[in-house]
Amino acid sequence: MKTEIKHVELENIISEINKLQTDTVLVIADHQVWSLYSKDLLLEQIENKKVLFWKAADGEKVKNITDFQNAMEFFLDKGIHRNAHLVVIGGGATSDFGGFVASTILRGIPWSIVPTTLLSMVDASIGGKVAINSKSGKNLIGAFHLPTNVWICPKFIETLPAVEKNSGMGEVLKYSFLDYSIYDLVIRKAEMSQIIDACAKFKEKLVTEDLKEIGIRKILNLGHSFGHAVEFIYNIPHGEAVMWGTALLFKLFGTEKNLNDIAALKKALEIPGDHAPWFNKEFPIDKIMMYLSKDKKISALSSLDMVIIKDIGNAEIETKSFDEIQATLEANKDELRKFTI
């Protein structure tokens, strides 16, 4: 099973839905996206199919078990079947949520995504990781369920708030360390649609090799263990958090070259903000360690797999004990207060 990724103009999205081999289409759309784009996405133009529409609370807000239950009961009550097809229209949070619905309704139905944020186009919509949040942390309740299609329409980026756009740039920055050709496109300031395509296809390739993240797919977690902790502690957007998580990782376990590269990429991608969220504050070691210990990616009680960048395009997984991470954080505590990139 593989995802077909392709660029689609806004006005052609409905005709893609019309081509789906099913008589029943479920649609989950982000509330905010729908208020901006429902006039361009006329569901009444879907032909010869039963259409069930459920509007999701904005972004991350929908990723809870009550909304999950409501969406499931809504669709099930209307009478659907295993060949029904779910289409998600929204950012990464909406597709995380919608994908979890698709993966568990009737034990799983096919689904497709229209990603409406940069973050989702380059990352969240690819690879079938779907989830909702738990009281104990983000994405702790979920599944692996590959979408059939990802229809990328860069036009959505035009209405994206700057903070959301920068958040996507944080993930593009991550890819630049994992693949030399993406690094090159970014440093040369290539067209954004070309960069999106390269990122999405790079991820799709890794995921096809290793859906369940047992091996190579793990490199996509670069900066994410620290990143998730930083995201929770400072309540900052995901992509920014990943950038700071990556920077922190490089500072603690990386090289001078890693730090120079991240600075150059940050500049090329025009990601604003020079100061880490913890700048001039006490570095929150205890909180960081607490979030790390609840990270999904840990594989034992006392250690964590981390992605180390030997050079652009050359990533390796190293298992670090919590004791070592804590000691390294303690040793760098004072320097971290004035850390900038």
Site residues, a second copy (CB under 8 A): 23-24, 50, 65, 68-69, 72-73, 76-77, 79, 81-83, 103-108, 129, 131, 134-137, 139-144, 212, 293-294, 296-301
- Cβ at position 131, least distance to a second copy in Å: 7
Question: Which lies closer to a second copy via its Cβ, residue 234 or residue 322?
Answer: 322
Token digits of residue 289? 């360690």
Cα-Cα-Cα-Cα torsion 95, 101, 102, 103, nearest 10 degrees, comes to: 110
Radius of gyration of the chain (CA): 20
Question: Which lies closer to a second copy via its Cβ, residue 107 or residue 188?
Answer: 107
List residues bridging with 142 in a β-sheet: 131
In angstroms, the CA 252 to CA 194 distance is: 33
- Cβ at position 50, least distance to a second copy in Å: 7
- Cβ at position 134, least distance to a second copy in Å: 5
- Cβ at position 136, least distance to a second copy in Å: 4
Place of tokens 């500072």: 251
Tell me the residue type at 11.
E
Would you say the C-alpha torsion 179, 181, 184, 186 has a positive or negative sign?
negative
Question: Which lies closer to a second copy via its Cβ, residue 24 or residue 116?
Answer: 24
- Cβ at position 105, least distance to a second copy in Å: 7
Question: Which lies closer to a second copy via its Cβ, residue 42 or residue 76?
Answer: 76
Give Cβ neighbours of residue 68 (< 8 Å, ≥ 6 apart): 97, 100, 101, 132
Question: Which lies closer to a second copy via its Cβ, residue 77 or residue 256?
Answer: 77
Give Cβ neighbours of residue 102 (< 8 Å, ≥ 6 apart): 86, 88, 108, 109, 110, 111, 130, 145, 147
- Cβ at position 141, least distance to a second copy in Å: 5
Nearest CA-CA partner of 229 in 146, 329, 148: 329
Question: Which lies closer to a second copy via its Cβ, residue 106 or residue 157?
Answer: 106
